Amino acid sequence: MDNHGFLIVDKPSSISSSSVVQKIKTLFRLRKVGHTGTLDPLATGLLVLCVGQATKFSRFVIDQDKSYQVAIRLGVATDTFDSEGKVTSKASADDISEEMIEFALERFRGEIKQIPPMYSAIKKNGVPLYKMARKGLQVELDAREVTIYENTLLSFDGEILELYVSCSKGTYIRTIAADLGDVLGCGAHVVSLRRLSVGHYVESDMLCMRELELAANKGSLSDYLLPVSSPFKEWTELLLEAEQARLVKNGATIKHSLTDVLGSVGLYEKCDLGEKRFIGVGEISENGILYPKRLLHGV
């Protein structure tokens, strides 16, 4: 039986996102599995995997907002901005108060600019930055604009502070930690990081590796997959008659009569007994033309 859909995994620490992908491929003997946004090896939490034809829709998940809980140690800076790196500086954080942290956090709310860390998967001239960093190379990086919707101080014990962060795609929590340490004048790095959500996928959707290993022993994955349509449940649904669906699945553009619908839409084909079948996503132009963008095959 073919498996297509999204698998929401609780990634353990000390394993890379790509290793999780490989583990799932091996456990369930799958050919096509990908992830929708890397989590650092240190980090835990919500990792969205796309299985089978869901890989066609991965970019729509990558573009989603995310949220995290992070623990940051003050007084020590590292080259990776987390506890797995080499210490680059130490300074006393004894005089840092909760009020000072709250004041400094104001700089990291709303639209901000970040320079990505050298130890990241971003590529420069086709080469991942972390590979350059391991060779001791430094390259000039452009600041990128990201949005911090929420940045709340949860606790502070005089050395380690915990934050809840809700942010746009492309935000580096490690960079927030390092920049916060610079603002406070003592240096800082991430000691633990947990991703809590990606779009509308949340912690209650997650499966731990042990649960997945047990599922593999039963030879079943389909019961654990969320539908390929799940990233689009908040999108406008466009219900197509059989002939319209046939044309769209063949790549044709069609005129649509719903003039109040505009922009990105989820495409569904009418089935018997009032049922519907997801066939992909499209976009409706201002003149009412439906353009198919990503489609499932064989449905």
Residues identified as active-site = 40
Inform me whether the pLDDT recorded for 4 exceeds 80. Answer: yes
The helix or strand, by DSSP H or E, that contains position 155, with its residue range, turns out to be strand 144-156
Rounded Cα distance, 145 and 110, in Å: 10
pLDDT at 142: 79
Together in a domain, 86 and 186: yes
pLDDT at 126: 72
- Token pair, residue 199, equals 């779009």
> Tokens 């004894």, residue?
94
Mean pLDDT for the chain overall:
91
Distance of alpha carbon 187 from its chain centroid, rounded? 27
Domain that holds residue 190: 66-198
Together in a domain, 23 and 54: yes
Give residue-wise pLDDT tens across range 204-250: 999 999 999 999 988 789 899 999 999 998 999 999 999 999 999 99
Distance of alpha carbon 115 from its chain centroid, rounded? 19
Together in a domain, 60 and 75: no
Look up the pTM and report it.
Answer: 0.91
Inform me whether the pLDDT recorded for 259 exceeds 60. Answer: no
Q: Are 249 and 46 in contact (CB under 8 A)?
A: no
Give residue-wise pLDDT tens across range 137-184: 777 777 899 999 999 999 999 999 999 999 999 999 999 999 999 999
Number of domains in the chain: 3
Rounded Cα distance, 272 and 149, in Å: 43
Together in a domain, 155 and 139: yes
Q: Is residue 230 part of a domain?
A: no
Give residue-wise pLDDT tens across range 267-298: 999 998 889 999 999 999 888 899 999 999 87
Together in a domain, 86 and 142: yes
Q: How far, CA to CA in Å, does 95 sit from each of 92, 99, 179?
A: 8, 11, 18
